[in-house]
Structure 1
Amino acid sequence: MLYSRLVAASAAAASNSIRNGNRFEGRRTGSNFNAVILKRLFMSKVNKPPLSLSRLIRYTKGKEDKIAVVVGAVTDDIRVYEVPALKVTALRFTETARARIEKAGGECLTFDQLALRAPLGQNTVLLRGPKNAREAVKHFGPAPGVPHSHTKPYVRAKGRKFERARGKRNSRGFRV
């Protein structure tokens, strides 16, 4: 079977039409690319992280002729000055990211448009955003305060009196 979930958790009509189209293509063409896209479309929000314009440019360097495919959002990055002409397919673009890509002579495509251009995923680069870049991930791991733990504690306030004793300050007999 090409997909593990048959029905999405959220019932967004546009997303469902994309999923159904991709499911059809995956079944008809037997394409591994379509199966991967379908699997990612069914993923939860946490597993569809946004991809910044800077990372998009970095990952597509030397592959300017190919279509970058992101199952997630493409966001703007103000630290990037020059945007090359990119062809990008994504679920969503922020207004500024879309404007900058199109101003540079690039294209922002939907998955419907991609299905017409590359039904089997020819000349595409499948990308995804950094899943572990979320703030919440910093709090995962061995308990904060345990030796050699770099886990970020959940602290009520960030002042001097809050979890700033041994192991956090040199003036308090530093020991981890």
Structure 2
Amino acid sequence: MKKVKKTNPGLVTLIDDLKAATRNDGSAIWRDVAKRLEKPRRNYAAVNVSKINRHTAPDDLVLVAGKVLGTGDLDHKVTVAALQFSEQAASKIKSAGGECLRIDELADKHPKGSGIIILR
């Protein structure tokens, strides 16, 4: 079977950085996220704001290895890191007092990865 490589240089850099973070800090969460991002894009997570609302408490850290979509409402403050955000999702998270981050920003802020909820 032919090995398919990612062609997006930003994504390749992100995957390499996450693997390096695992080697440096010994945290398995970043290796898991890197493996999820190595898979085909059709397998990436697509999580709605309503699912984030259901599965989190105020001030939680959420990681989505894919895209956050804007269906639903958010009634508490959460910090969400994802590969992409729709415009509606970003505005709903920010209006609830939350924060939208890129995955590499979350890895820099929390290198051990403790307390992060992965949604898919």
Q: TM-score, normalised by structure 2?
A: 0.89
Deviation at 1:9, TM superposition (A): 2.8
Instruction: Pick closer, same or farther for the CA change 1:8–1:107 going to 2, 3 Å.
Output: farther
CA contact (8 A) 1:86 1:105 kept: yes
5+ residue gaps in structure 2? none
For residue 39 of structure 1, give the secondary structure of its aligned residue in structure 2. helix
Letter in 2 for 1:89: A
Matching of residue 90 in structure 1 with residue 86 in structure 2:
no
Deviation at 1:82, TM superposition (A): 4.7
**What is residue 76 of structure 1 aligned with on the other side?**
70
Deviation at 1:17, TM superposition (A): 1.7
**Can you list the C-alpha shifts for 1:121-159, whole angstroms capped at 9, x where unaligned?**
12211111xxxxxxxxxxxxxxxxxxxxxxxxxxxxxxx
Deviation at 1:83, TM superposition (A): 3.3
**What is residue 99 of structure 1 aligned with on the other side?**
91
Greater strand content: 2
Q: 1: CA distance between counterparts of 2:41 and 2:118?
A: 18
Deviation at 1:29, TM superposition (A): 1.7
Greater helix content: 2
**What is residue 51 of structure 1 aligned with on the other side?**
47
Could you tell me which of 23, 27, 48 is aligned with 1:27?
A: 23
Q: 2: CA distance between counterparts of 1:39 and 1:75?
A: 22
Q: TM-score, normalised by structure 1?
A: 0.62
**What is residue 147 of structure 1 aligned with on the other side?**
none
Q: 2: CA distance between counterparts of 1:82 and 1:94?
A: 15
Q: 2: CA distance between counterparts of 1:81 and 1:33?
A: 28
Deviation at 1:8, TM superposition (A): 6.4
**What is residue 66 of structure 1 aligned with on the other side?**
60
**Once superposed, what is the RMSD of the aligned Cα atoms?**
1.7
5+ residue gaps in structure 1? 1-6, 129-176
More relative contact order, 1 or 2 (CA 8 Å, 6+ apart): 2
Could you tell me which of 5, 11, 19 is aligned with 1:9?
A: 5
Letter in 1 for 2:29: F
Matching of residue 116 in structure 1 with residue 112 in structure 2:
no
Instruction: Pick closer, same or farther for the CA change 1:83–1:35 going to 2, 3 Å.
Output: same
Q: 1: CA distance between counterparts of 2:53 and 2:109?
A: 21
